[in-house]
Amino acid sequence: MMHIDRLSLPRAVEESPHADAVRALFSPAQPGNPAALPGIELDASVQTALQRALRTGRLSRGLETALEKLENEKRGLEHLRRQTGERQAARVSRLILVSSDASERLRGEIERAIERHAPRVLALALTADSARIGSLLFGANAHAKVLLLDHKEAVAGMLIAAAQQRSGPGRPSARS
C-alpha cells in the first residue's frame, strides 16, 4: 500500500490549513495493526458532510454498490488512458466509510478495494453503528455499514471534518 505522504489529496485539502492533519490521520497505522482504518466520530461536522454528500448525489450506500462504482470508474480511466495515451493524475478522489459494527470479513473486503483502487481511494471507520448511520441518512430503521463518497468535493469536505476532530476547528495543523 502506498504511503500517505506520497499521495496527492484532493486539491481543496492540499490547499487547506488541514492538509498535514489529514495526512497524520492516515499515518502511521495503529501500532500492532497496520491494516486498521483510522477512526472518526460521527460528530456534527461529519454528519453535515455526509448529509451534504447525500443531498448532492455524491454518496452511495452498500459495499456492492461502492465496488461496482469503483470498478466502473477504473474501467473508464483505463479507457481514457488508452484513447489519449496519457495517464490521469493519481489523486485521492473517493472515500469509503465503514460503520463500527462492520464484520472483519467486510473490513477485509474494504482493505482489498483500497489496494485495488489505490491511489484514488482511502477509507475511514466511523465510531457509530450501522443503525445510527442509516437512520441519520436514510430514515428510521435503515442501516448503512458501508458508504462511498464518490466526488472529490465530498471527499475533501469529509477529510477536513475528520482532521478538525483531531486538531480542533480553530487549530488547523502544524503547517499553518
Higher pLDDT, 86 or 131: 131
pLDDT score, position 81: 80
**Beta strands per DSSP E along the chain:** 39-40, 59-61, 94-98, 121-126, 146-149
Higher pLDDT, 53 or 170: 53
Which helix (H) or strand (E) element contains residue 63?
helix 63-84
CATH architecture observed for domain 4-27+37-167: 2-Layer Sandwich (3.30)
Cβ-Cβ contacts under 8 Å for 129 (sequence gap 6 or more): 99, 100, 101
How confident is the model over 87-129, as pLDDT tens digits? 767 789 999 999 999 999 999 999 999 999 988 999 999 999 9
The domain limits of the chain are 4-27+37-167
Handedness of CA 151, 153, 154, 160 (dihedral sign): positive
d(C-alpha 91, C-alpha 101), whole Å = 29
The three cell numbers locating residue 112: 482489498
How confident is the model over 141-155, as pLDDT tens digits? 999 999 999 999 999
Question: Mean pLDDT, to the nearest integer, of 47-51?
Answer: 96
Query: Position of cell 482493505?
Result: 111
d(C-alpha 137, C-alpha 126), whole Å = 14
